[in-house]
A = this chain, B = another copy of it.
Amino acid sequence: MEHTVKAFEEDITRLRGLIAEMGGLAELSVQEALDALVNGDEDLAQKVIVRDKEIDALEMEVDRLAVRIIALRAPMADDLREVIAALKIAGVVERIGDYAKNIAKRTGKIEGRRKFEPLALIPAMGEVAAEMVHDVLTAYAARDPQLAREVIARDATVDAFYDSIFRNLVTHMVENPATIGSAAQLLFVARNVERVGDHATNVAEMVHFAATGTYPPDREEQNP
């Protein structure tokens, strides 16, 4: 029995490590995708695009390990809840990686970088979103439902940035019709960043559930 408990703990530690690794890569990709976009750095953008395959591969590894744990260790209650949460979290983090890749792909499509005020706002928005991804993984590792709730609350900041950038871009389009193409690209970027924040919120709810068995009381208040 001792042996089984130890084997389970080794497995779960490995599972947490994989999620942490996946999340770390997703966070880095969000940051680098925005750096690449702002600076027109196509090499960095390419790095982000390639890294997405690594994130996808990690998701499959999480899936495989989680299945192994359920099948071989037959975890109960809290332990089982954590394994299920890992499976679902991996699915959402994988998607955050997709958003970073989507952003990176737009690097070559922005013209006249210095003219765009929103290009200064987007990295600030991205910083908040990337920080949400970072903190939600810390919350996962520490089983910290309080930090998970703080992440959920921060989604309102990302949404406020998004509204501001959207209005700014629309005004910019009206005043500079020649730059509509680039402005539209930035609109899609802002939307992708907003979705990163939304998905980090989704993970935060799962972390809260894994840690406490209940969803955060304020989960429906996230979009005030």
Contact = CB atoms under 8 A, between A and B. Distances in A.
Interface of A: 56, 63, 67, 70-71, 74, 80, 84, 87-88, 91-92, 95, 98, 101-102, 105, 159, 163, 166-167, 170, 187-188, 191-192, 195, 198, 202, 206, 215, 219-220, 223-224
Contacts of A63: 84
Nearest to A105: B220
A202 B84 contact: no
Stoichiometry (number of copies): 2
B105 A84 contact: no
Contacts of A163: 187
Contacts of A91: 88, 91-92, 202, 206
A223 B102 contact: yes
A84 B84 CA distance: 10
Contacts of A102: 220, 223
Contacts of A170: 167, 170
Nearest to A69: B70
Contacts of A202: 91, 95
Given A101-B220, A188-B223, 15 more contacts: A56-B215, A67-B70, A67-B84, A70-B71, A71-B71, A71-B74, A84-B87, A87-B87, A88-B91, A98-B220, A105-B220, A170-B170, A188-B224, A191-B223, A198-B198
Nearest to A95: B202
A148 B175 CA distance: 40
Nearest to A192: B223
The 6 closest A-B pairs by CB, nearest first: A88-B91, A70-B70, A188-B223, A63-B84, A87-B87, A101-B220
